[in-house]
Structure 1
Amino acid sequence: MSKSNIEQGILKRVNKNYNEVSNFLNPQFEICSELNTIIYEINTCVLLDLHKATITLTNYLLERLLKIALIYNEAGIGPVEDLNDLDNIFKEPNRKYGDITLEKSIKKCREFDLITDDEECILHERIRKLLRNGFSHADSSKILKDLPDEYKMFQGSFSNPNEVREVFLNTKINPTFQALHMTEYATLQAFPYYKFVFNLIFKIEKRLKETVN
């Protein structure tokens, strides 16, 4: 593929997706500003229709969001007068929360009212088990489990074009068909998932600010 073809393809996708992505291009985070670089990368993926990359990066965004929410919840969000105090402020919260699993992060965030019951349910049942395990862990089993065990297909022959026969295949266990199903799923779910996590950032920031009032 030539450079000009690549450029044309990129421009076409950016023009198609820009209006939908434009509201996410300049987030005004008050606490979680360190997430700006991740947001920029995800926006680029959305603009270019990189759906699986969008989901995988959003998985990272979510895990990082919940961890820093717990860290700020314990360390505080107020100004620090002496920068020499920064290490002591963040050392213990980072030790406690920096390497915990997503499951524990979700539970802890609910414990501290950083997320609601409904958000906890969505994060556990839909995001952790499907989107996170399905893409970051490359486990398609739960995403595809409700598909039929057999699909009727038709096999043709180049040597005998008039010969067509029925075949029945389980597309949930064949890597080629798994990839097709996962691509279709990612195309439908990537942007709604990103929007959910993007909006969750602002909700968590609001709740963190309420803890100091």
Structure 2
Amino acid sequence: MSSNQAFLALFFDAPLLSFGVGSKFDRRETLGFPSRGAVTGLVAAALGMARDDCAGLARLAQLKMTGIAFPSAPGSLLGDYHTVGGGYSPDELRSIVATADGGRGGTVVTDRYYLADGKFAAVLSGEPGFLNEIGTALLNPVWGGWIGRKNCLPATPVFQGVFDSEAAALAKLKTLLKAEDGNAACRLWDECPLEAPDAVSYPDIPVDWARRTFHPRAVRER
């Protein structure tokens, strides 16, 4: 394996997946390929990182990431009309913390979007020792992992190995898909400078989970 760079392969197969990018309000979208935020959340949980571990997030941000979608398994977009709160009994209302004006919070409504029954992947590249640390954590996570949201639990193992080349990592991931449906074609989204031609940017690099702070990340299809 190269002394200064390795490639970690991640496979995302779940009944529901969500690749949101910096969602803060009542509409939670999903991209059609893996977002950095979703991958970072999965890895951070496996490593046992605290929500205020900004140094840990900065270390993860140093890794490069390629997002992968498989045209034969794109998933179907599913919208969930999601409500939190409302309909409380008098006894339940007494246990709810009052708002600043002395009232009680009402029902919170959000529209949350998922990809149902899709298969995706990602390749992280960086220092071999750190990637092996991540791989070990994914095999024996400190906290349970999910793909974008807590109800998006993986159906198959996420960690697929650490390799000495991107080509080897992609070959492994394509083999997983081909074994299921015979079609291993894939689309790749690489990170690039914000000003690069054809680049699309999203608030997708977590900086501080506690404050919900994200830096922009630009990608373009290879």
TM over 0.5: no
Higher helix residue share: 1
Higher share of residues assigned strand: 2
TM-score by length of 2: 0.23
Greater RCO structure (CA 8 Å; 6+ sep): 2
